[in-house]
Chain A
Amino acid sequence: MKIKVLGPGCANCVNLEALVKEVVAELGAEATVQKVTDFKDIAKYGIISTPGLVINEVVKWSGSVPSKAKVNELITTELAKGE
């Protein structure tokens, strides 16, 4: 699974990245977490309110830091799809 956190480096973007890594570790999921900071690359996903969360190239969240339960739910749903 490929997870991308979109954001130029504001506090919320850093928080989301940490949260995603935490959830991935807890789930023991096989996933890469990548940070996308260049706006030209962020624009490719159509997001203008950061932070954004992209899983397997699909925008799952934008504009705020989701709750931990939400991140867990999003990742678990994607994991289930892959099986």
Chain B
Amino acid sequence: MLQWFADRVVYSLLGLEKGTRLAGALNFFIYDTIKILLLLVVIIYAVSIIRSFFPPEKTKKLLSHKREFFGNIAAALLGVVTPFCSCSAVPVFIGFVESGVPLGVTFSFLISSPMVNEVAIVLLLGIFGWKIAGIYVASGLAVAIAGGIIIGRLKLENQVEDYVYQIKLSDVELPDLTWKDRSDYAFGYVKDILKKVWPYIVVAIAIGGAIHGYAPENFLMKYAGRDNILAVPVAVLIGVPLYSNAAGIIPIVHALMEKGMAVGTVLAFMMAVTALSLPELIILRQVLRPKLIGIFVAIMAVAIVFTGYLFNAIL
């Protein structure tokens, strides 16, 4: 259906000749843009409805006094469905610690929540297909679980700022939501996200389309192919300062992959963009001492690079 529409616009309406580079790039751009925007609307709406059942206040109760391992698994999974933005990272962190969620379990949540987020899932699904999206989600959860367990084992509770332990939260009865409230919330959230990400997506798909249509086949093989051992760590280093632009990164990365960038390198890059972000680290500095932030970054970097090598080796 969408392909038919894109074909109509490019070949019939604009009268471009099939097989030319411009037609190829434009067709790709129209098809991808519409597909991604539709997917975003549908999936974010659905995810938001689910999320309305898991406010952070409830999630912290579910995770309170959970043990290592099962607690980490639960935290990583809840991280996917609990609404979270880096602007509320500090209150959420304090709330978790205050209600007795172990530090390692809290970290599993903090890692999985931004990394396995709905925008990333939609874009991976729409552009790369379910297999890569599935691998990304599964390895993201694995990194979150493992990272949380390691941080828990290191006994770093003394590296949390003291004032965090002095804050007392009241127990709150959250008001009941009607289905209309949930639907309004979901609809509002779809609007927010679309407003925020559509320019990135359109620009990124345009760049992706240009690379798709104009760059020579396999020109990246030499630099970012699976045989270049440095590609994964370099991709992670580039990914860290790029923040909240999963929307703007994935379409470009897809085109790069077509031209020879290895799958594991692509995954590692994506993870670095979403899970390790400079602004979030700065925000977390309000509650974590520098040593703990350093350890957190080091563990994440190692885990992400490892994931990259793993998938470059097996895929």
Contacts and interface: CB of A to CB of B under 8 A. Distances in A.
Interface in A26-59: 39-40, 42-50, 59
Contact of B55 (A39, A44, A63): A63
Given A48-B57, A49-B55, A63-B56, A39 B94 contact: yes
Contacts of B185: 64, 66
Interface stretch (B62-70, B132-140, B166-174): B166-174
B189 A64 contact: yes
A39 B175 contact: no
Contacts of B169: 43-44, 46, 48
A49 B88 contact: yes
B87 interface: yes
B199 interface: no
B181 A70 contact: yes
Nearest to B48: A64
Contacts of B94: 39, 43, 48
B188 A45 contact: no
B90 A62 contact: no
Interface string B273-287: 000000000000000
A49 B91 contact: yes
B60 interface: yes
Contact of A64 (B83, B87, B167, B173): B83
Contacts of B227: none
A47 B57 contact: yes
A66 B184 contact: yes
Given A10-B87, A43-B170, A60-B175, A48 B95 contact: yes
A46 B189 contact: no
Nearest to B173: A59
Nearest to A50: B88
A49 B56 contact: yes
A49 B93 CA distance: 11
B172 A46 contact: yes
A67 B83 CA distance: 18
Contacts of B91: 8, 39, 42-43, 47-50
A48 B170 contact: no
Interface in B163-194: 167-175, 181, 184-185, 188-189
A47 B91 CA distance: 8
Contact of B175 (A42, A59, A65, A67): A59
Given A48-B95, A63-B55, 16 more contacts: A8-B90, A8-B91, A10-B88, A39-B90, A43-B169, A43-B170, A44-B168, A46-B171, A47-B57, A48-B88, A50-B91, A59-B175, A63-B56, A64-B188, A66-B185, A67-B188
Interface of A: 8, 10, 12, 39-40, 42-50, 59-67, 69-70
Interface of B: 55-57, 60, 83-84, 87-88, 90-92, 94-96, 98, 167-175, 181, 184-185, 188-189
